Amino acid sequence: MTTPEAREEAVLEAVRKRREQVNEAIPEELPIQRPERLYEASRYLLDAGGKRLRPTVLLATGEALVDAEPLSEDYRAFPTIDGERTETRSADSSSGPPRDTIDLMDAAVSVEVIQSFTLIHDDIMDDDDLRRGVPAVHKEYDLGTAILAGDTLYSKAFEIMLETGADPARTVDALGILATTCTKICEGQSLDITFENRTDVTPEEYLEMVEQKTAVLYAASACLPAILLGADDETIDALYGYGLDIGRAFQIQDDVLDLTVPSEKLGKQRGSDLVENKQTLITVHARDQGVDIEGLVDTTDVDAVTEAEIDDAVARLEEAGSISYANDKARDLVDQGKARLEVLPDNEARELLCQLADYLIERGY
Amino acid sequence: MTTPEAREEAVLEAVRKRREQVNEAIPEELPIQRPERLYEASRYLLDAGGKRLRPTVLLATGEALVDAEPLSEDYRAFPTIDGERTETRSADSSSGPPRDTIDLMDAAVSVEVIQSFTLIHDDIMDDDDLRRGVPAVHKEYDLGTAILAGDTLYSKAFEIMLETGADPARTVDALGILATTCTKICEGQSLDITFENRTDVTPEEYLEMVEQKTAVLYAASACLPAILLGADDETIDALYGYGLDIGRAFQIQDDVLDLTVPSEKLGKQRGSDLVENKQTLITVHARDQGVDIEGLVDTTDVDAVTEAEIDDAVARLEEAGSISYANDKARDLVDQGKARLEVLPDNEARELLCQLADYLIERGY
């Protein structure tokens, strides 16, 4: 029997080892070039940190699919599923240049670059000042540079995804997933903004918004290796579902952490979602229980709110059972997502994907 | 002998007929769907008008490549160059679904959608209030919605380009062009912004900026049909060069028109480039001639400038020979671009591409 602490430690170690490789790959794929200020702004948040959870899901899924020992493969030259792992040129008949291996790290960097683009633009829309403990890009630079930095990351993500060396048909499918994922993220962000002015959002509507805004990028991360390495449709669909489930659970946990983690550790003001009238599963549930959500915090200015006000608000939400409700929902989603992994070979990397799912809702920040 | 007026009339008619088809295709490819406000904002500028010059270049290049009578082909089911125009399934060996024809209209809409995305974000960065005679998207809606509308168009352009039915290897090449084009547009816009704070920009630097900001999308428009329809590399490169040349000429003419066309006709304040300290080939040249560009207009507020001030400024630029210089440069680029078209079969559509090039610098607005 492993203890929860030992399990978390193992996951963090697995994430850390992949993060190191992703962190090395980012400046290779996205070098600072002319115009320097634009590329520095584009790299600013990527260089400021981040757990690289989405790339980790992507890389671990690749390992599980080819039944590899975790971290035993070179992500830059990853074997395909369908036995093209020879030193000879591929016998595949497509018109692209034949390749024996796939650069899965390109795909991993691509999804992280998309994630970073959405953070830069979201911070402008939400007028958030801090991100990952540093100023948001539009604060560190300026509005125009931040918009443009996001736009640059957007097209760079597509350029990088084009470089995996996969068969053109698989590359087309991968780019299709990337493009529809970006569209859904925009739709989700748009719903999120309109929800701020509504007091009748249902849990179903909230979960739909979260699916689009957050979960689809986890879903893309989980299914992209299956597409690029040549898995069958059943596997691709199951992995997409796993990503959607754990992505929704991740966002619900994020909403819980926004209320419960000290500002210092969070890298931004605790309770900022409440102050800014962001809908979360917690507030949607609490309103159903008769809690006056709009009255919980007096100000709409994150700089003016006091810790005591946030403490009182959290106590009210706890009384209403809303935080437990969110925790339970996240747990259900994670269990559902883990069950979908049965489509994969039973191996250590699959076990890691299960642990990662647990970690997303057990993490302290 | 045709008169210049007759030639312009013929070009306008050719543009108009293709524009009508493009205008029909836009709502098909980009329907208003949930969340409605997001898609309405995304469509706002596209629906407000525009000459559709880039889609016209794209569609006419397709016609020239397959040696078709202008407007005789269905753009939604366009024949390929390499004889795949049969009713049988393609014998091409790639792994994508075989198709006999290409939906060239998808490619045309895709480049127009990219163009619209850049206008929305540029208007925010430049804080321009008007575009095509209507409020800019961030004025009609709000900042967040405008950023998000641009982002949505961005990914939609990729989704639409994925639908042409071309062979996967050609689709991959087309998406590669689209992605690098978007990156260059961002780089060009970034240079343009930094130029506003510099007084030592050379004509070469200006032309490099214009190439990235504006001309690459014309270059993509001209070479995309060659890629999708299966032309050889020499043809693809020549058409890319044609697009770069006429795109640069187009931007230089745009800069001239900003000074010479009445605000009403222009759809925004005449001389706004001067007021906002935008570098143009005209100002770069005039500064070289000793003109005090910063002193030409006193205000930096487009709403405060008078017509008389603009008139005086234009007179000074004319005296310095800067407007003639810009006109000559645009003419040289157009002639160079037209010469590149010799790679195409000698047909009516090629002639139209020549006339289009002339039109870009002869147009009155």
For tokens 């402008």, what's the residue? Answer: A124
Shortest distance between the Cα of B321 and any Cα of chain A, in A, equals 31
Q: What is the pLDDT of residues B31-85, one digit of tens each?
A: 999 999 999 999 999 999 899 999 999 999 999 999 999 999 999 999 999 765 4
Nearest CB to A155 within list B38, B94, B182: B182
- The predicted pLDDT at position A93 comes to 42
CB-based contact (8 Å) between A34 and chain B? yes
User: For chain B, what is the mean pLDDT?
Assistant: 91
CATH of A4-85+100-248+340-362, one of 1.10.8.100, 1.10.600.10, 3.40.50.300, 1.10.8.590: 1.10.600.10
Q: Alpha-carbon distance B118 to B214, whole Å?
A: 10
User: Collapsing DSSP states into helix, strand and coil, what is residue A62?
Assistant: helix
Please answer yes or no on whether A35 and B168 come within 8 Å at the CB atom.
no
Minimal-distance CA residue of chain B relative to A122: B144
Give the closest residue to B265 by CA, choosing from B148, B363, B154: B363
Is the Cβ–Cβ distance between A208 and A191 less than 8 Å?
Answer: yes
What percent of chain A clears pLDDT 90, i.e. is strictly above it?
76
Please answer yes or no on whether A155 and B183 come within 8 Å at the CB atom.
yes
- The predicted pLDDT at position B85 comes to 43
Q: What is the pLDDT of residues B122-178, one digit of tens each?
A: 999 988 888 888 899 999 999 999 999 999 999 999 999 999 999 999 999 999 999
ipTM of the complex: 0.92
Q: What is the pLDDT of residues B72-128, one digit of tens each?
A: 999 999 999 976 543 333 444 444 444 579 999 999 999 999 999 999 999 999 888
Range name among A3-7, B95-99, B183-187 with the lowest pLDDT average: B95-99
Q: In chain B, which among 100-159 make CB contacts under 8 A with chain A?
A: 121, 124-125, 143-145, 147-148, 150-152, 154-156, 158-159
Average pLDDT (B251-279) is 88
Please answer yes or no on whether B152 and A178 come within 8 Å at the CB atom.
no
Please answer yes or no on whether A151 and B37 come within 8 Å at the CB atom.
no
By CB atoms closer than 10 A (0-12, 13-18, 19+), residue A93 is: exposed
Is the Cβ–Cβ distance between A359 and A218 less than 8 Å?
Answer: no
Beta bridge partners of A79: A101
H helix intervals, B1-132: 4-29, 36-47, 53-65, 104-126
Q: In chain B, which among 234-273 make CB contacts under 8 A with chain A?
A: none
Q: In chain B, which among 170-209 make CB contacts under 8 A with chain A?
A: 171-172, 175-176, 178-183, 186-187, 189-191, 193-194
User: Collapsing DSSP states into helix, strand and coil, what is residue B32?
Assistant: coil
Q: What is the pLDDT of residues A254-301, one digit of tens each?
A: 999 999 998 888 777 889 889 888 889 999 999 999 999 988 888 888
Please answer yes or no on whether B186 and A144 come within 8 Å at the CB atom.
no
- The predicted pLDDT at position A87 comes to 38
Minimal-distance CA residue of chain A relative to B149: A186
Contacts of B145 in chain A (CB under 8 A): 190, 193
Contacts of A191 in chain B (CB under 8 A): 35
Shortest distance between the Cα of A13 and any Cα of chain B, in A, equals 35
Q: Alpha-carbon distance B228 to B107, whole Å?
A: 9
Is the Cβ–Cβ distance between A274 and A283 less than 8 Å?
Answer: yes
Shortest distance between the Cα of B110 and any Cα of chain A, in A, equals 13
Nearest CB to A187 within list B35, B159, B191: B35
pLDDT for A42 beyond 80: yes
pLDDT for B363 beyond 90: no
- The predicted pLDDT at position A48 comes to 93
Which amino acid is located at B19 in the chain? R
Q: Alpha-carbon distance B230 to B84, whole Å?
A: 10
Phi and psi (nearest 5°) for A109?
A: -65, -40
pLDDT for B232 beyond 70: yes
Please answer yes or no on whether A95 and B96 come within 8 Å at the CB atom.
no
- The predicted pLDDT at position A61 comes to 98
What percent of chain A clears pLDDT 70, i.e. is strictly above it?
95
Contacts of A166 in chain B (CB under 8 A): none
Shortest distance between the Cα of B181 and any Cα of chain A, in A, equals 9
Give the closest residue to A130 by CA, choosing from A303, A281, A296, A248: A303
Minimal-distance CA residue of chain A relative to B152: A183
**The two three-digit tokens of residue A209, written as one number:** 């918004």
Q: What is the pLDDT of residues A66-124, one digit of tens each?
A: 999 999 999 999 999 976 543 333 444 444 444 579 999 999 999 999 999 999 999 99
pLDDT for B4 beyond 80: no
Which amino acid is located at B298 in the chain? D
- The predicted pLDDT at position B91 comes to 42
Shortest distance between the Cα of A194 and any Cα of chain B, in A, equals 9
Shortest distance between the Cα of A175 and any Cα of chain B, in A, equals 8
Give buried/exposed letters for B93-128 (b at 16+ CB in 10 A, else e): ebbbeebebbbbbbbbbbbbbbbbbbbbbbbbbbeb
Contacts of A93 in chain B (CB under 8 A): 93-95
Tell me which CATH code domain B15-247+347-362 carries.
Answer: 1.10.600.10
Minimal-distance CA residue of chain A relative to B178: A155
- The predicted pLDDT at position B93 comes to 42
Which amino acid is located at A277 in the chain? N
Nearest CB to B96 within list A152, A155, A169: A169
**Segments making up each domain of chain B, as ranges:** 15-247+347-362
Average pLDDT (B335-351) is 97
User: For chain A, what is the mean pLDDT?
Assistant: 91
Q: What is the pLDDT of residues A331-361, one digit of tens each?
A: 999 999 999 999 999 999 999 999 999 999 9
Please answer yes or no on whether A96 and B169 come within 8 Å at the CB atom.
yes
- The predicted pLDDT at position A153 comes to 97
**The two three-digit tokens of residue A275, written as one number:** 């102050």
Beta bridge partners of B131: B134
CB-based contact (8 Å) between A86 and chain B? no
Shortest distance between the Cα of A94 and any Cα of chain B, in A, equals 4
pLDDT for A165 beyond 90: yes
Please answer yes or no on whether A194 and B151 come within 8 Å at the CB atom.
no
Give the closest residue to A106 by CA, choosing from A174, A188, A184: A174
Range name among A94-98, A318-322, B46-50, B302-306 with the lowest pLDDT average: A94-98
Shortest distance between the Cα of B157 and any Cα of chain A, in A, equals 9
